[in-house]
Amino acid sequence: MRVAELRQQFPILGRTVKDKPLVYFDNAATSQKPQCVIDALTHYYSHYNANIHRGIHTLAEEATMAYEATRSAVQDFIGAASAEEIIFTRGTTEAINLVAHTWGRENVGAGDEIIISGMEHHSNIVPWQIICEEKNAILKVIPVLDNGELDMDAFKQLLSNKVKLVAIVQVSNSLGTVNPVKEIIAAAHQVGAKVLVDGAQSAVHLDINVQDLDCDFFAFSGHKVYGPTGIGALYGKKMLLDTMPVFQGGGEMIKEVTFEKTTYNDLPYKYEAGTPNIADTIALKTALDFIAKIGKNQIRKHEDELLAYATVQLQAIPGLTIIGQAKNKVGLVSFVIDNVHPQDIGVLLDNMGIAVRTGHHCTQPLMKRFGIPGTVRASFALYNQKEEIDVLIAGLHKTIKMLA
């Protein structure tokens, strides 16, 4: 992969921070955007800004076509059987909440169980807690092993016909662990449970095929796949989406409204009330096309090399412990250093132009499991280089010296 050439396509990578060249290692929080994505936004607003679906004028038609083209692009990106199964949402969080408040409200009852894991992001914990509280259902948690993998034996012990849903992250944003979701889905289906996969971190690194996985729901966010913020998608099996109750009420999601009764629109519009985020949806396709052009396999190979290189370099630093040493990981490394608070490391690295994330990464129960307040997390993208890891390692040595 020609990383130096690809970097040229990301204007932000040319800037400095605190008079140092930017080293951006916060890609798990949000990735940077290539010029083509930025251009797609400007082009939409300068050439064919219009509300979609309802208009018959040229601008409305062009905007509608571009918006729906993204739906087909997302269908391809995650291997869905049909575009009707793709619902646009603000992101992963809204997608999970949509399932909780529609499917969850209707299908989870008193005494039923929902299984999540000990490495879930808060957005795949709290919506299920809300439903469990409301319905008197029980939330069960798959434990995390010391190396950052799921305890699959314990998971199998948790399965019974009381379980209505397993909501599981495919790639941990705090550990980098790639979970065996296909195996989890098959086991959950054996007891009649549905499975929601949180793909917020996996969509950018792994080839996703929801039909092969056989998951019932899959959620991801555009801003982590080189696309804009404020747009993401929920995949749901048509059979489920068709029979689930509606989410928000308003324009677009209806067939006919009278004061006595309202009938609802077909999929996917049934779940897309109101004027959607048209510009960002359109630019998401540009981001997905950008990834496809490079090839996910090429990107993964490059990120794996960065991960291997960073892991060796970091492990050589005295007092540093990597949190999350799963056999199957993406390009993300979380660590702590003896007697130094992650926050202090983050501040000093920022002074050197290095952007890492520090803290609990919206996985407080996982931090508690490891008995730490948080970690320093460096997460890699297609535009990162080994030289930048060298800058991070030198920065860490300096930081330790300053804080010792």
Binding site for ligand PMP (CB under 6 A): 91-93, 121, 123-124, 169, 173, 198, 200-201, 221, 362
DSSP lists the bridge partners of residue 232 as 89, 221
Nearer to ligand PMP, 200 or 367 (CB): 200
Residues 127/98, Cβ–Cβ less than 8 Å = no
Asked whether 177 and 378 are in contact (CB, 8 A), the reply is no
Q: How far is the CB of 346 from ligand PMP (least distance, A)?
A: 16
Measure the CA–CA gap between 137 and 114, rounded to whole angstroms.
8
On whether the CB atoms of residues 53 and 252 are closer than 8 A, the answer is yes
Nearest to 232 by CA among 268, 265, 199: 199
How near is the Cβ of 170 to ligand PMP at its closest, in Å? 8
In the complex, minimum distance from the CB of residue 43 to ligand PMP, in angstroms, rounded to a whole number: 24
Q: How far is the CB of 264 from ligand PMP (least distance, A)?
A: 25
Give every CB contact of residue 295 below 8 A, 6+ residues apart in sequence: none
| Smallest gap from residue 89 Cβ to ligand PMP (A) | 8
Whether 132 is catalytic is no
367: left (phi over 0), alpha (psi -120 to 50) or beta: alpha
Q: What is the DSSP letter of 245?
A: P
> Between β-strands 113-117 and 163-169, what pairing exists: parallel, antiparallel or unpaired?
parallel
Closer residue to ligand PMP, CB minimum distance, 75 or 173: 173
Name the active-site residue from 36, 132, 215, 362: 362
Q: What tokens were used for 81?
A: 């059987």
Rounded CA separation 17/351 (Å)? 8
To ligand PMP, the closest distance from the beta carbon of 92 in angstroms equals 4
- Burial (CB < 10 A; 0-12, 13-18, 19+), residue 60, is middle
141 forms beta bridges with 116
Beta strands, E only, 149-298 = 163-169, 194-198, 217-221, 232-236, 254-257, 262-264
Least Cβ distance, residue 178 to ligand PMP (angstroms): 12
Q: CA nearest 230: which of 285, 281, 290, 173?
A: 281
**Cα gap 336→377, rounded to integer Å:** 9
Q: What angle do CA 124, 364, 78 make, to 5 degrees?
A: 30
Which residues belong to the active site? 362
